[in-house]
Amino acid sequence: MPLSHSAPLHLAVSLDGAGRHPAAWREPGARPAELFTARYWAGLVAEAEAGLLDFVAFEDGLALQSSSPAGHDERTDRVRGRLDAVLTAARVAPLTRRIGLVGAVTATHTEPFHVSKAVATLDHVSRGRAGLQVQVSGLPYEERHFGRRPGPLAEEELYEEAVDHVEVVRRLWDSWEDDAEIRDVATGRFVDRDKLHYIDFEGRHFSVRGPSITPRPPQGQPVVSVRAADSSAYGLIAQSADIGHLVARDTAETRAAATAVRGLRASTGLAERPLHLFGELTVFLDESAAAAAERRGRLDEAAREPYDGDTSVFTGTAGQLADLLQERREAGLSGFLLRPAVIAHDLPAITRALVPELQRRDLFRRQYEADTLRGLLGLGRPANRYAADPLPAA
């Protein structure tokens, strides 16, 4: 996608428990006893929508959180447990009107048929604001929750399987043409079955016949995002995603990652399909840099270890963060996925301090300009791959 340097930034938040910092749940206002209630999530998404953010990403996983990749860590001092992300997104959809709702789904252990209709339905209930954040899992103890395979797939295979998974999900979204439902009383036909399509996907890991049971979602293709913890996910971003989240720690790394992903995108023959690359940052935001650093120190002390995170960590003021986002943007990014270190503190700091700062710099919207997530991201509604006479993409 050609990047105009004056183009506004896209901004989203990733929500998980009480925040990214392990001690976030102990902070004032964190409401740790309410993490498994709808009102907690509804409140957070309302705050994000009041800040005109592009979307909220609901993190998820098919194992209890653990600080160790080897297995359950038996810790009692951290948030454990999560609600299903797509269902949480659906629960808040009727309470919101403009903000995008992106649920994390683990391709490794799920049925693409179920995922496709769930996200299509999220798109129907939100009237075009659904997205899907695809992830893989190679954790042996997570594999044991399913018992489908003797052990996890190798990393390369995990990503190959995820590419197939997204391909099936996407084909199923297109398996109904937009005008397949005809309700023709004269002939008694509810659908024009020539506009329903078998997808006949056959891959190494599964085959799926189709069509979906759910009609094409309002966006046609809901938004697919992929987080790249490292370069192993670049292929999945290149082949399958509308948004790639890069966790690069500085501007040079960001530039290298963006160049690598865009190169892969071009080599897949999808260079024409728009691809957003977002930087991912964990943020501690305060009115002064000293206050932010002090708060981070206090949290680290409570957690009894320094927070390093698995992504860039920003500590400072809204103005400093705006400077950083502008600088990183020059490295080839079109937006940012921010992870509040402490949701109770840093989410309102994003919406009430960072957003106004970016607006002052003409880098962020002053009102929602579209009512679908694709619309907010400047992505057209794609033509249906199966339609005989597709309308040109917007």
Partner 1 sequence: MTTKPLKQIHLAAHFPGVNNTTVWSDPAAGSHIDFDSFVHFARTAERAKFDFLFLAEGLRLREQGGRIYDLDVVGRPDTFTVLAALAAVTDRLGLTGTINSTFNEPYEVARQFASLDHLSDGRAAWNVVTSWDAFTGENFRRGGFLPREERYSRAKEFLATAHELFDSWDGGDILADAGSGTFLRDARAGAFAHKGPQFDIEGRFNVPRSPQGRPVVFQAGDSDEGREFAASDADAIFGRYGTLDEGRAFYADVKRRLAKYGRGQDELKILPAATFILGDTDAEAREAAHEVRRLQVSGQTAIKYLEHVWNRDLSGYDPDGPLPDIDPETGENTIALGRASVRQFRDPLETARQWRALAEAKNLSIRELVIATTSGQTFVGSAASVAEQIDTLVQADAADGFILVPHVTPGGLDTFADTVVPLLQERGVFRTDYEGTTLRDHLGLATPRAASGRRAEAS
Q: Which of residues 335-354 bind partner 1 (CB under 8 A)?
A: none
Exactly one of 75, 249, 298, 360 binds partner 1 (CB under 8 A); which one? Answer: 75
Using CB under 8 A as the binding rule, whether residue 77 contacts partner 1 is answered as yes
Exactly one of 4, 5, 74, 362 binds partner 1 (CB under 8 A); which one? Answer: 74
Residue of 179, 141, 130, 7 lying closest to 63 (CA atoms): 141
Using CB under 8 A as the binding rule, whether residue 127 contacts partner 1 is answered as yes
Exactly one of 118, 243, 313, 321 binds partner 1 (CB under 8 A); which one? Answer: 118
Exactly one of 15, 57, 86, 376 binds partner 1 (CB under 8 A); which one? Answer: 86
Using CB under 8 A as the binding rule, whether residue 243 contacts partner 1 is answered as no
- Residue 273 CB, nearest approach to partner 1 (Å): 26
Alpha carbon distance 37, 39 (integer Å): 5
> Are 247 and 281 contacting, i.e. CB atoms less than 8 angstroms apart?
no
Alpha carbon distance 42, 57 (integer Å): 13
Using CB under 8 A as the binding rule, whether residue 102 contacts partner 1 is answered as no
Tell me the per-residue interface mask from 279 to 318 with partner 1, x by CB under 8 A, - otherwise: -----------------------x----------------
- Residue 234 CB, nearest approach to partner 1 (Å): 26
State which of positions 159-178 bind partner 1 (CB under 8 A): 176
- Residue 66 CB, nearest approach to partner 1 (Å): 8
Using CB under 8 A as the binding rule, whether residue 124 contacts partner 1 is answered as yes
Alpha carbon distance 84, 67 (integer Å): 20
Encode burial over 275-289: b for 16+ CB neighbours within 10 A, e otherwise. Answer: bbbbbbbbbbbbeee
| Helix (H) or strand (E) run with residue 166 in it | helix 155-174
Using CB under 8 A as the binding rule, whether residue 185 contacts partner 1 is answered as yes
Using CB under 8 A as the binding rule, whether residue 227 contacts partner 1 is answered as no
Phi and psi, residue 207, nearest 5°: -130, 145
> Are 21 and 341 contacting, i.e. CB atoms less than 8 angstroms apart?
yes
Residue of 348, 367, 257 lying closest to 46 (CA atoms): 348
Of the two residues 157 and 323, which places its CB atom closer to partner 1 in the complex? 157
Exactly one of 68, 207, 231, 259 binds partner 1 (CB under 8 A); which one? Answer: 207
Alpha carbon distance 40, 18 (integer Å): 10
Q: What is the dihedral of CA 45, 129, 52, 328, to 10 degrees?
A: 100
Q: Is 159 annotated as a binding residue?
A: yes
Using CB under 8 A as the binding rule, whether residue 220 contacts partner 1 is answered as no
Alpha carbon distance 333, 350 (integer Å): 19
Annotated binding site for FMN: 60, 159
Residue list, annotated binding site: 60, 159
